């Protein structure tokens, strides 16, 4: 992905929502400008504590989180938050003006490039209204941000490339309009792993924010983001039951997640494909059903006994990894070389 | 559920896989015999530390967990484990014989009552072979256990009552066969919330192990286990975006889970129904789509602004609750009366 960003002439601000790990962030930012993207303020706090100060929180800011965002700036973060709503922008301006912070809180305006989730349309009048509201003390209109979530619905690399062009064009148009109205717009941010992988041209864009590419999963394999052999994370499970037509493993819905997104790429994917403990795919074997702590594996041709270990390649690693406190790092074999913790959840509980 | 158990003449051994909370366990065991059911040995360890010693671990035992089970007995647990496999039973006998434990480790034989997940059929020859293998030093053949998971596929209370009868009959037959062969079989355990709710007769059964009834969810409402008004847990979310056709909330797939089980009960359930912060259902409003940190709410008729809070009633609370470190306990209002932590995951990580 570093090569993709360099080739396209944009900065890489990797999204750590998938990995949620400082060790992974160090790999993902090696040779880059060290900026990162996060999906929760808990991640922002964690990554700041691990030396990552340039952070974009790429989920629309809830008013209840404004104080937490300002506190991160106070504690040294170069933080950008996101909104597309004038009431939130006005509240941000009010609260920031009253805050004592060493640098302004950056605000990105969210643009809808066709996904229909969050954002204002790039040609909407609302865009300039938001910019005016954000022109306030202790705030910095940092630029625009968009996410082509609809790239996940594409059936081919060609279709993804077209969505990537929509994503680019929407962000670039919004930035041009802001600049035309006299605002600075330093950051023009796009990103999703499929569009980052298949984009042909990112003229007018300054950075991209893919995240799931770091690990990959069966959905990304189906979307042609990477070959199956490069999916980096699997769930290690033990066989707890053997029957003529199925095998039970001790990894079910809680360990794998109930995400079914990859099922659209093939009929025999279920809740994940199955490998042996060395990481070799066992053709046809898949987790056909996932109860809370039970996975029902079908299609397994190899002889198997209770206690044997299997690896499950996940449908959607963002969901699967979130069920676990961290990663056991292995190389070719099964020896654990390191343990890399994750920052899960949304708040300090204890 | 206490009334159901009393009326049916069986003990209630509540399954804590859903709640995973000592405070909830104290409510669920009030007036009962204090035995509980768990789905992980991490739960067993946690509940033992909170004073619950009589524990059934109702997931088939992986050989790699035998030492952990024996350690729990050494530390004071009256633990029952589960298997349906003769290799595991033989390994259990070997390891238990070599252990120094103050009381035997109980073993339940898992019976398949028609669910087709784990278990030997109640009339299988294998049943007696397992009993013979478990007749070993430091092991106690505690009885039989079955789970009518197929009750979740029923379309009516009448159909669930029929599955409950299958569940009862299978467990009772297996117990009779063991006793007929000269084995003691103190425990005859059945259980799922749907069958516990709709069973008419539990002759031959000694205990039931429902769990999700403590909280309920939209799937259980659809299965007629409880009325919607009694679903006890919801996810509190903030509105982060407002659009003509939808509202964005900051609770997505990670906060709600991607479980879609309740969708079969209605077309407008999505990833959960939506209530106001007072807990009043907002008719038609549902989480139509769940991305990692975004929920897209459709069907909301009430006027809404960013910062408003909504509650999401979950599809499947076992999955949803597992995404959170614990519960904020509220009464009618929104004042937090207590915080009850959960024991998530499978192991001590740090």
pLDDT tens for the 350 residues of chain B, in order: 999 999 999 999 999 999 999 999 999 999 999 999 999 999 999 999 999 999 999 999 999 999 999 999 999 999 999 999 999 999 999 999 999 999 999 999 999 999 999 999 999 999 999 999 999 999 999 999 999 999 999 999 999 999 999 999 999 999 999 999 999 999 999 999 999 999 999 999 999 999 999 999 999 999 999 999 999 999 999 999 999 999 999 999 999 999 999 999 988 999 999 999 999 999 999 999 999 999 999 999 989 999 999 999 999 999 999 999 999 999 877 899 999 999 999 988 86
Q: Would you call A118 and B292 a contact, using CB atoms and an 8 Å cutoff? A: no
A115, part of any domain: yes
Average pLDDT over residues A314-320: 98
B204 and B241 assigned to the same domain: no
Amino acid B40: pLDDT:
98
Please name the helix (run of DSSP H) or strand (run of DSSP E) that holds residue B298, with its range, or none. strand B295-298
Measured CA to CA, the distance from residue A337 to residue A342 in angstroms comes to 17
What integer pLDDT is reported at residue A348 of this predicted model?
82
Closest-CA distance of chain B to residue A244, Å? 11
**CA–CA separation, B262 and B150 (whole Å):** 15
Is B307 in contact with A40 (Cβ distance < 8 A)? no
Distance CA A213, CA A231 (A): 9
Are B208 and B325 found together in one domain?
no
Helix, strand, coil percent content, chain A, rounded in steps of 5? 35, 25, 40
**Yes or no, beta carbons of A259 and B255 under 8 Å apart:** no
Other C-beta atoms lying within 10 Å of the C-beta of residue A340: 16
For A163, what's the count of Cα atoms within 13 Å in the CB-facing half-sphere? 27
- pLDDT confidence bin for A334, thresholds 50/70/90: confident
Across the interface, of A85, A254, A319, the residue whose CB is closest to B242 is A85
* Residues B174, B233 within the same domain: no
Domain finish residue from A149, A180, A214: A214
Q: Which residue among B190, B214, B238 closes a domain?
A: B214
The last residue of one of the domains, among A187, A214, A241, is: A214
Model's pTM, two decimal places?
A: 0.96
The CATH number assigned to the domain holding B199 equals 3.20.20.10
B184/B141 same-domain check:
yes
Continuous segment of H or E residues that includes residue B27: helix B22-29
A259/B239 touch (CB, cutoff 8 Å), yes or no: no
Domain membership of residue A49 (yes or no) is yes
In a domain? residue B348: no
- The nearest CA of chain A is from the CA of B306 a distance in Å of 7
Of B293, B307, B349, the CB nearest to A326: B349
Average pLDDT value for residue range A293-311: 96
φ/ψ of residue A6, rounded to 5? -65, -45
Tell whether the torsion through CA atoms of A197, A201, A205 and A207 is positive or negative: positive
What is the interface size between A and B, counted as CB pairs within 8 Å? 153
Q: What integer pLDDT is reported at residue A302 of this predicted model?
A: 86
Kindly report the nearest CA distance between residue A68 and chain B, in angstroms. Answer: 14
Residue A227's pLDDT is 97
The residues that bridge with B177 in the sheet, in sequence order, are none
Asked if B85 and A241 come within 8 Å (Cβ–Cβ), the reply is yes
Same domain? For A275 and A170 the reply is: no
Asked if residue B177 and residue B46 are part of one domain, the reply reads: yes
Tell me whether residue A74 is in a domain. yes
Q: How many Å apart are CA B39 and CA A291, to the nearest integer?
A: 11
| CATH number where A280 lies | 2.40.37.20
What would the two tokens of residue A319 be? 């969901």
B306 touching A (Cβ < 8 Å): yes
Dihedral sign of CA atoms B284, B285, B286, B288 in order: positive
Quick one: closest CA in B to A288, which residue? B117
First CA to last CA across chain A, in angstroms?
Answer: 37
Give the pLDDT of residue B302: 86
Distance (Å) from the alpha carbon of B46 to chain A's nearest alpha carbon: 16
Q: Are residues B57 and B205 in the same domain?
A: yes
Identify which of B60, B149, B246 has the shortest CB distance to residue A240: B60
d(Cα A204, Cα A171) in Å, to the nearest integer? Answer: 8
User: What digits encode the pLDDT tens for the residues A170-228?
Assistant: 999 999 999 999 999 999 999 999 999 999 999 999 999 999 999 999 999 999 999 99
pLDDT, residue B164, reads 98
pLDDT digits (tens, 9 = 90+) for A213-247: 999 999 999 999 999 999 999 999 999 999 999 99
Domain-embedded: residue A164: yes
- B57 and B129 together in one domain: yes
Closest residue in A to B238 (Cα–Cα): A62
Same domain, B178 and B243: no
Judged by a CB distance cut-off of 8 A, whether residue A325 touches chain B is: yes
Give yes or no: residues B30 and B101 share one domain. Answer: yes
Chain B residues close to A253, C-beta within 8 Å: 259, 318-319
pLDDT score recorded for residue B334: 80
Task: Tell me which residue range forms the domain holding B119.
Answer: 2-214
Asked if A117 and B305 come within 8 Å (Cβ–Cβ), the reply is no
Q: Position of tokens 């709410």?
A: B297
In the block, which residue shows the tokens 């597309």? A84
User: Does residue B153 sit at the A interface (CB-CB below 8 Å)?
Assistant: no
Residue in chain B closest to A255 (alpha carbons) equals: B345
From the candidates A236, A306, A344, which should be mutated to test the interface with B, based on the most B CB atoms within 10 A?
A306
Residue A33 has pLDDT above 90, yes or no: yes
| Residue A349 covered by a domain | no
In a domain, A161, yes or no: yes
Sequence-separated (6 or more) residues with CB below 8 Å from residue B263:
B269, B270, B315
Contact criterion met (CB < 8 Å) for A294 and B117: yes
pLDDT of residue B267: 81
A288 touches chain B (CB under 8 A): no
Summarize pLDDT for B212-271 with one digit per residue, the tens.
Answer: 999 999 999 999 999 999 999 999 999 999 999 999 999 999 999 999 999 999 889 999
A42: β partners: none
- The answer, for B334 touching chain A at a CB cutoff of 8 Å, is no
Q: Which residues of A touch B149 (CB under 8 A)?
A: 291
CB spacing of B17 vs A307 below 8 angstroms: no
What is the band of A349 on the pLDDT scale with cuts at 50, 70, 90?
A: confident
* Interchain CB distance below 8 Å, A307 and B62: yes
Identify whether A7 is part of a domain: yes
Return the number of other C-beta atoms located less than 10 Å from residue A125's C-beta.
10
Q: E-assigned strands of chain B?
A: 11-12, 36-38, 54-60, 78-83, 105-111, 139-146, 187-190, 207-208, 235-243, 246-249, 273-276, 281-290, 295-298, 309-313, 326-330, 336-341
Element (H, E) at A49: helix A41-49
Any B CB within 8 A of A349 CB: yes
Same domain, B157 and B23: yes
Residue A333 pLDDT > 80, yes or no? Answer: no
Q: Which residues 6+ apart lie within 8 Å of B107 measured at CB?
A: B80, B81, B82, B83, B89, B92, B134, B139, B140, B141, B142
Domain total of chain A: 2
Is B12 found in the same domain as B137?
Answer: yes
Locate A83 and state its tokens.
């909104």
Q: What average pLDDT does range A126-154 have in this prediction?
A: 97
């Amino acid at each position: 992905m570093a090569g993709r960003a360099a080739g396209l002439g944009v900065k890489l601000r990797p999204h750590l929502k998938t990995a949620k790990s400082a060790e992974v962030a160090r790999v993902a930012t090696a040779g880059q400008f060290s900026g990162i993207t996060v999906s929760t303020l808990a991640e922002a706090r964690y990554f700041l504590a691990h030396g990552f100060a340039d952070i974009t929180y790429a989920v629309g800011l809830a008013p209840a989180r404004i104080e937490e965002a300002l506190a991160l700036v106070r504690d040294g973060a170069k933080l950008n938050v996101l909104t597309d709503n004038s009431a939130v922008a006005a509240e941000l301006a009010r609260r920031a003006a009253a805050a004592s912070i060493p640098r302004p809180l950056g605000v990105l305006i969210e643009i809808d490039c066709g996904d229909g989730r969050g954002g204002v349309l790039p040609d909407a009048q609302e865009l300039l209204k938001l910019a005016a509201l954000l022109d306030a003390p202790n705030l910095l209109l940092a630029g625009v941000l968009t996410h082509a979530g609809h790239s996940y619905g594409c059936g081919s690399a060609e279709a993804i490339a077209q969505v990537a062009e929509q994503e680019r064009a929407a962000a670039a148009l919004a930035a041009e309009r802001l600049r035309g109205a006299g605002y600075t717009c330093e950051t023009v941010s796009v990103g999703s792993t499929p569009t980052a992988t298949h984009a042909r041209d990112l003229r007018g864009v300054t950075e991209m924010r893919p995240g799931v590419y770091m690990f990959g999963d069966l959905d990304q394999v189906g979307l042609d983001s990477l070959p199956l052999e490069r999916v980096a994370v699997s769930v290690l499970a033990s066989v707890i039951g053997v029957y003529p037509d199925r095998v039970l493993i001790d990894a079910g819905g809680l360990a794998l997640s109930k995400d079914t997104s990859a099922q659209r790429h093939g009929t025999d994917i279920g809740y994940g494909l199955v490998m042996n403990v060395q990481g070799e795919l066992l053709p046809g074997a898949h987790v056909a059903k996932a109860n809370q702590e039970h996975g029902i594996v079908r299609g397994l041709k190899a002889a198997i006994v209770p206690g044997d270990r299997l690896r499950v390649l996940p449908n959607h690693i963002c969901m699967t990894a979130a069920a676990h406190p961290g990663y056991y790092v292995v190389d070719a074999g099964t020896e654990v070389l390191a343990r890399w913790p994750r920052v899960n959840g949304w708040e300090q509980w204890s």
